[in-house]
Chain A
Amino acid sequence: MDTQVLYNILHQEAFGFNIAMYFYLTGLSAGSFILSTLAYGFGMNQYKSIGRVGVVLATLLLVIAPFFLLIHIGMPHRAWHLFVYLNMSSPITWGSFLLVLYPINCIIYGYFMFKEKMKQTRIFAFIGIPLAIAVHGYTGFILAFGKARALWNTALMPILFLASAIVSGIALMILVIIVKDRFFTKAKSINRDLILNLGKLLAWMIVFDLFLVGSDLLVLSISHSDAQTAAHLILVGKFSILFLVIENLLGKIIPFILLVVPRFRTLTTVVIASLLVVVGIFIMRYVVVLAGEFVPLL
């Protein structure tokens, strides 16, 4: 059928770059936090040295992230409304609390960690884990509640967001540790084993992430027409280069290969892989947010 829209209005963008950036930063924060609990919560001592880095990153990133929200909202001076006029059916309301509780917990957790009070650290690590999951998971719900947007409106969204959060968290962690060890420690030596270990962890998280992305795509491409349109948009359409090449090939598959093929496994490749992942996950946020609302609704 030959059909042509002769006139329609241009719709404003609901969520744009700022929101993608906000999602990205909360993701990095949650990922870093969870990594830091490997040692301090679960006692995996080989990861001990990243605990401190993790908590500092988690806190810092989560202090920066809301600024992107404030830039995004039209009435930043009314942000206090979020704490007064609560609507428990809105994920953003959940977020308002999480955005307060989570950094507070991070600070306490970090405080005990730096004071080497292991018991208390552990308690706040376990309080922090659900908070970290929630603080990033809720952003997944924000999108999932965008019911008209096929790319967003999936129950996978929160878990997809978490997986990518951890992926990006590990990669960032690797980079930060290398920079820290290389330039800010007296020894200037890098803990190679730790990095390679983290690399492996990263590789398997990438597999999990790819599995989720793949499931999502599979279902999208056989689902209703809006979903198919969305799949088309990211597979062959306007966002295909960003999605296929940058986010998945450069951002996940190549790093995975670099990380798991023993022949490639060196510090340099881990750094390259991590860099690629950090960029790739940002592109993932960008694609989800912008491609999600690219197709007009009417």
Chain B
Amino acid sequence: MKGKKKRLAVLVDLRKCIGCDACSLACKSENDVPLGVWRTWVKKVEKGQYPHSKEFFLPILCNNCENPICVTVCPVNAGIKRPDGIVYIDPHRCIGCRYCMASCPYGVRYIHPRRKIAEKCYWCHHRVDAGLEPACVQACPTDALLFGDMNDPESEISKVAAENAIQVIKPESGTDPHTFYIALDIDSVEAIKSEDK
């Protein structure tokens, strides 16, 4: 059971997400994320025709992928994947070349407007290492966000994952994402290919 090494993951139960943005704000304060950039955000999508319309909420954060292309392409090895799966950026090494941003299929990286280095969600490893949950998970008022060890069958997250159909965003990206979703609507993932920005 415990023989397998730890593999941390986030599970977003979209049936429980009320689109309240508590996760977004918790992250802004936890990680001192400046205006204009985000480590997590809640995309909102409308679908269908009146009165059979629907609104979907989709919290997006880094997938801390098993095969992180962002790490593969970093020319200075600033991207680091920890044994427990967390992918983080060494702030002292990053040169801010933005290659990781260009290659990540999820658009979750940004350049810090003042520090000029790449940053992203790293599942709050400072909290995780202290035995706490990531800030957004702790904040979520409806327990739509779960965090834990996917390789531990006793953990809450693997139990919920076992009992529900879980999906990832863009499995075809081949990065083996580890942010999982319950009840993911495919159209809310798709970028609307409109050209008016």
Contacts and interface: CB of A to CB of B under 8 A. Distances in A.
Interface of A: 1-12, 14-15, 72-76, 78-79, 81-82, 84-87, 89-93, 95-96, 142, 145-149, 225, 229, 232-233, 237-238, 293-298
A14 B98 contact: yes
Instruction: Please report whether the interface of chain A is mostly helix, strand, loop or mixed according to DSSP.
Output: loop
B171 interface: no
Interface centre among B41, B107, B194 (most CB of A within 10 A): B107
Interface in B62-80: 69, 72-78
Contacts of A229: 193
Contact of A4 (B46, B72, B95, B117): B46
B45 A5 contact: yes
B38 A92 contact: no
A3 B73 CA distance: 34
B122 interface: no
B43 A12 contact: no
Contacts of B44: 5-8
In this complex, the interface size class of chain B, counting residues with CB under 8 Å from chain A, is: 35 or more
B44 to A, nearest CB: 4
A76 B97 CA distance: 9
Interface in B11-49: 36-38, 41-49
Contact of B96 (A15, A75, A232): A75
Given A7-B44, A9-B41, A14-B102, A78 B95 contact: yes
Interface of B: 36-38, 41-49, 53, 55, 60, 69, 72-78, 93-99, 101-107, 110-111, 115-117, 169-170, 173-174, 187, 189-195, 197
A96 B75 CA distance: 9
15 contacts: A1-B187, A2-B48, A3-B46, A3-B190, A6-B44, A12-B36, A73-B98, A81-B95, A86-B77, A87-B75, A92-B75, A147-B173, A148-B107, A232-B193, A238-B195
A8 B58 CA distance: 10
A29 to B, nearest CB: 20
Contact of A147 (B36, B69, B95, B194): B69
A147 B67 CA distance: 13
A1 B47 contact: yes
A73 B96 contact: yes
Given A11-B110, A147-B173, 6 more contacts: A5-B43, A76-B95, A78-B96, A295-B193, A296-B191, A298-B60
A1 B193 CA distance: 13
Given A9-B38, A9-B41, A297 B107 contact: yes
Given A72-B98, A81-B76, A2 B47 contact: yes
